[in-house]
Amino acid sequence: MDEPQAAVAARLPGAAALGLVAPPGSGGVPATVLADPAWTAELLARRALTQGTVDPRVLATVWWYSASSVLLTPPLAGLVTGRPLSGRLEDTTLHVLAGGLPVAAVVAVPATHLAAELRDSLAAVVAAVAAAGRMRERPLWAITTDSIANRLLALGRAAGDVGAATASAAPLARAIGVPLPVPRYVDVAGQRFPRRVSCCLLYRVPREPLCVSCPRRPAAEREILLEDTASRM
């Protein structure tokens, strides 16, 4: 692992599970490939065989929900630990499994201007994924917001300070700027959860349920399900 990220990972228990350490057997590719619509379209076509759908919008959205989370983890981990890591695609190596699912990302250098770096990277990748999925960009920006919220929550739990980590979500999103929505959280039964602004469309994949926190659920139903989740944490 590159030294700047190794220093960040050392401060976070469970760094490997968070996607900060590349697992054995994963292949490394430059994160710049994410900004290539042709590369993304080919990947989505291959994933259609295992996902059980040929709907490009569903394939693109489900994949970006996972990929954005992995891509954003190093810079967000740097933010949480006070050791900034670059948000540039050019400074990032993405580690993927054989099926094309990203599992870890490694950043080689510190950040200079994190919000600006993330804005440029996210704009390039969202445009590519939207083109490959033949869909609008706005839903993918909303997915990105929920990935930021989820990752900061997970990193805050690992660091032992959920409040500080999640408090950084809104200022970062505002610094990145439109069209990125501002992340939100809700506290239920003593536990914090992201208040989702997007639907990952996973329920459109055969045999997959609607997510517990999906905004498509009625608010009362979502509250009950989150309370149940909180009770088991």
Q: What per-residue confidence (pLDDT) applies to 67?
A: 95
Question: What CA–CA distance (Å, rounded) separates 18 from 70?
Answer: 8
162 within 8 A of 17, measured Cβ to Cβ: no
SS3 state of residue 10: coil
Predicted pLDDT at 169: 98
Per-residue pLDDT, 206: 85
From CA 148, how far away is CA 138, in angstroms rounded?
16
Which pLDDT does position 7 carry in this prediction?
92
Per-residue pLDDT of the chain (233 residues; tens, 9 = 90+): 568 899 999 999 999 999 999 888 777 899 999 999 999 999 999 988 888 899 999 999 999 999 999 999 999 999 999 999 999 999 999 998 877 788 999 998 999 999 999 999 999 999 999 999 999 999 999 999 999 999 999 999 999 999 999 999 999 999 999 999 999 999 999 999 999 999 899 888 888 888 888 888 988 898 898 888 888 88
Torsions phi, psi of 110, nearest 5?
-70, 160
Q: Which pLDDT value is given to residue 2?
A: 63
C-alpha 229/C-alpha 231 separation (Å) is 5
Which pLDDT score, from 0 to 100, does residue 1 have? 54
